[in-house]
Homo-oligomer: A and B are copies of this chain.
Amino acid sequence: MKPTLQTVADAVGVSRSTVSNAYSRPDQLSPDLRAKILEAAQKLGYSGPSPAGRSLRSGRAGAIGVLFSDELSFAFTDPYAVQFLRGLAETAEEHGTGLLLIPLAGDKDDTAATVREALVDGFCAYCVPDWHPSLDVIQDRRLPMVYAEWREDGDSGLLAVGIDDVAAARDAGRHVTALGHRRVALVAHWIGKEPFDGPVNLTRPEDAPHHVTRERLMGYRDALAEVGVGWADVVTVSAARNSREGGAIAAAHALDRAPRPTAILVAADLLALGVLDAIKQRGLEPGRDISVVGFDDIPEAETARLTTIRQPALDKGRIAGRLLLEPPESDGERQVVLPTQLIVRASTGPVPNGG
């Protein structure tokens, strides 16, 4: 039989409340008695108040749920995602709060059940498509939730942290068009609702079901339109997996067609690294023969000399945690937009002769 507060109380000859105070409010009893209680607890093998009992009474679960739309493996191998998670974990730790992983892959009903039964004080939705049923469940449960992407919804009650993806992608696009590129390919993960490898026929970027992808494609589109390149003239390639290899596979679809694009805009650095691999594998040199721009500025981007958009992943995570655990008073503080910056490195250059 596992010892409880009562066991210890009986052993010492005090009330249950006093034992509780010995653990949770040391100032409420004399140091002597406290020492005696802790000693007795030790002897009885009592290891402190049970989290379940405490959680029920206090109404605090001591954890926040992290929703992933992607398979666990790919969600974690992207250093950008990991960095975000790290920021979140940091804030969570400061508040004595844990992180409960909830992958949204698999059966949707199961997933919804998991979300419904999760012992958490709130949720952080990371790369979750707007239409996912789990989001309704969270609303039912009336738990706070923070989106890890900025959304412009009129709904001002929403907690959100993000960047201006459209503007950032536009910057990336303008950098490339300013260098003279006109034959451009776009590479992104999750352009459609299902994972797919290869060129896609997307009438308008607005139709992409995933928020982030949608906005970045819109930004690229805008920049290209400024120099007269129409959306129909752009090759858009979907990568089935958000990984370096996935990027290489997608790049192949862009590179092995004539005429070859002179620049590739990639919606994530991890994919962009794969794009660079594919380029080098074909004996071409990034920045000279073909330009590549990534997105995120993960640490590896510097090593790979990849031109990219820097966004503060760690801060994004920290702020997401803060929004959840220190709910802001005013509506104005409920949405945070972080700055981005174009980092020009060696992977972009002017259009090659005969390009």
Contact = CB atoms under 8 A, between A and B. Distances in A.
Interface stretch (A44-52, A174-182, A210-218): A44-52
Contacts of A245: 299-300, 303
Contact of A100 (B2, B100, B300): B100
Given A244-B300, A303-B245, A100 B56 contact: no
A110 B82 contact: no
A59 interface: yes
Nearest to A71: B86
A183 interface: no
Contact of A82 (B72, B113, B116): B72
A103 B116 contact: no
Nearest to A54: B117
B93 A83 contact: no
A154 interface: no
A98 B93 contact: no
Of A54, A56, A62, most B-chain CB atoms within 10 Å: A56
A12 interface: no
Interface residues of A, number: 51
Contact of A119 (B55, B99, B103, B244): B55
Of A79, A85, A89, A98, most B-chain CB atoms within 10 Å: A98
Contact of A56 (B47, B53, B59, B82): B53
Nearest to A117: B51
A98 B82 contact: no
Interface stretch (A135-143, A284-292, A325-333): A135-143
Interface in A300-316: 300, 303
Contacts of A63: 100, 119
Nearest to A99: B101
Contact of A76 (B82, B102, B244): B82
Nearest to A93: B106
B119 A119 contact: yes
Main secondary structure of the interface of A (DSSP, over half): helix
A197 to B, nearest CB: 16
A56 B54 CA distance: 9
Contacts of A141: 47
Interface in A88-128: 89, 93, 96, 98-103, 106, 110, 113-114, 116-119
A61 B50 CA distance: 11
A73 interface: yes
Contact of A77 (B54, B77, B93, B117): B77
B89 A101 contact: yes
Given A62-B118, A65-B98, 7 more contacts: A47-B142, A52-B59, A53-B56, A76-B85, A93-B106, A96-B117, A98-B101
Closest 4 CB pairs of A and B: A47-B140, A99-B101, A51-B119, A52-B56
24 contacts: A2-B142, A45-B140, A47-B116, A51-B118, A51-B119, A52-B61, A54-B117, A55-B56, A55-B119, A56-B56, A61-B119, A62-B119, A65-B98, A72-B85, A73-B86, A76-B76, A76-B77, A76-B85, A77-B77, A89-B101, A93-B106, A96-B117, A98-B114, A100-B100
